[in-house]
Structure 1
Amino acid sequence: MKKYLAEFIGTFVLVFFGCGNAVVLGGFTGGMGSGFLGVVAIALAFGLAIVAAAYAIGDISGCHVNPAVSLSMLITGRMNLNDFIGYVIAQVLGALAGSGVLYFITSASQGLRGFGANGYGELSGVGLNMIGALAVEVILTFVFIMTILRVTDNEKTSHMAGLIIGLTLTFVHIIGIPLTGTSVNPARSLAPAIFTGGAALSQVWLFILAPLVGGAIAAFVHKYLYSTEQ
């Protein structure tokens, strides 16, 4: 249960601080959320949230805080099916708790709105269509999880895994925020969509499916590239 509680806390931190930063910067008149500084600030918030969570709970659960990461660990044999199910449940509940706190804060404010939901079409900052959004999320998740798998598998870099993973998440967010809001994490996308409702909720299937596909591809590619078996 300690592992599952750690995943709950880590995902809560990611959603509350990452999506919360997006709400604060983009959810009031004159906010920076749509400009370059806002994109970088939001990207850093997600990346630094992962760094904080990794060093806080990494020794307990590995700090997946993302069903796509857990799926890649399942495929590569680093976790069993029972733990995978427990991790995903804990991650979704942690994300819902993070969005729930954001709901309380936005309800108590006259200027803040939204929950940092992902989207395509009219919900995309650049009007990216569904196929484009699907491709973007698969590619970004693939890059992110390939980095995670390799940095945690290499003794030379494992001690720096939290920092490297956080910087990689920042890197993928910088390009992804204007396109889709950047998911690369089904739990991070599901919770804000539930609280937002409407079009965000009707589109959330893409931001659940695409990261899982990207994570699975990364796992199989990693196994092929670094397997010691013929």
Structure 2
Amino acid sequence: MQKPLAEFIGTFTLVLFGCGAAVLAGADIGLTGISFAFGLALIGMAYGIGPVSGCHINPAVTLGAVAAGRMTIGDAIPYMVAQVAGAIAGAAVLLMIASGKADYSLATNGLGQNGWGEGYLGEYNMMAALLFEIVATFLFMVVILGATGANAPAAWGGLAIGLALVVIHLVGINVTGVSVNPARSIGPALFAGGTALAQLWLFIVAPIIGAVAAGILFRTGLLDGEA
């Protein structure tokens, strides 16, 4: 149970601190601060639980690793269950903390949930959201597989991956709030409900498409992190 437990803790941390930055401190730190909160949370966990589980903390990344031939589907299933559970727990704790402020309203302030369309941040349409999430997750997975390849300098892998997540957020927060991670989207959406839950499918499907596509490229040798 060591690996699933590590994935639970890592995903819990990502949601609590990443989404927490948006909900609890967004007005003070802005989009740049929120972007770094997600990236720094990932960097911390990469070095904290990376030696235990590899620090996927993302079902799309786990499926990308399967597609790349670095993991079996049997090993992936406990990872993904733990990741989703960790994200839900992180969102639950965040909601309890946020609710401690008198003027907090889940309906008004949200829980860092992802979305698109009228009334959501930059009000980009569904096709823009779908394209961004597929492409961003694809590129994110390329960084992950490359930075953890046999010839990559192991000590720098977590930093490279975390900084990639920062850049993705800097570009994409106004588009979708940035998912690139089905678990990160599932946790807040379950509590926010409504539109967040209705739009959740995109933040499950798109990251999986992007990550698996990158994994296939590595497996076929077109991009080979093991060369």
Shorter-chain TM-score category? over 0.9
The one-letter amino acid paired with 1:189 is S
Cross-structure match for 2:20 = 20
- Percent identity (aligned): 49
Q: Is the 8 A contact 1:123 1:200 kept in 2?
A: no
**Is 2:38 the partner of 1:46?**
yes
Structure 1 residue ranges, 4+ long, deviating more than 6 angstroms after superposition: none
Q: Is the 8 A contact 1:91 1:187 kept in 2?
A: yes
Instruction: Note the C-alpha offset of 1:118.
Output: 0.3
Instruction: Note the C-alpha offset of 1:125.
Output: 1.4
Cross-structure match for 1:65 = 57
Provide the C-alpha distance between the structure 1 equivalents of 2:131 and 2:223, rounded to a whole number of angstroms.
Answer: 25
Cross-structure match for 2:179 = 183
Q: Is the 8 A contact 2:146 2:152 kept in 1?
A: no
**After alignment, is 2-11 or 150-159 more displaced?**
150-159
What SS does the corresponding residue of 2:157 show, helix, strand or coil? Answer: helix
Q: Residue 157 of structure 2: which of 157, 161, 185 is its match?
A: 161
Q: Residue 197 of structure 2: which of 197, 201, 207 is its match?
A: 201
Report the TM-score when normalising by structure 1. 0.92
Report the TM-score when normalising by structure 2. 0.93
For residues 12-53 of structure 1, what are the alpha-carbon distances to aligned partners after superposition, in whole Å with 9 as ceiling and x for unaligned? 000000000010234xxxx24xxxx51110000000000110
Cross-structure match for 1:104 = 96
Provide the C-alpha distance between the structure 2 equivalents of 1:210 and 1:123, rounded to a whole number of angstroms.
Answer: 21
- 1:10-159 to structure 2, matched below 5 A, reads 10-26=10-26, 31-32=27-28, 38-112=30-104, 113-159=109-155
The one-letter amino acid paired with 2:222 is L
Provide the C-alpha distance between the structure 1 equivalents of 2:120 and 2:157, rounded to a whole number of angstroms.
Answer: 31
Provide the C-alpha distance between the structure 1 equivalents of 2:175 and 2:213, rounded to a whole number of angstroms.
Answer: 22
Aligned residues between the structures: 221
> What stretches of structure 2 of length at least 5 have no aligned partner?
none
Provide the C-alpha distance between the structure 2 equivalents of 1:152 and 1:227, rounded to a whole number of angstroms.
Answer: 11
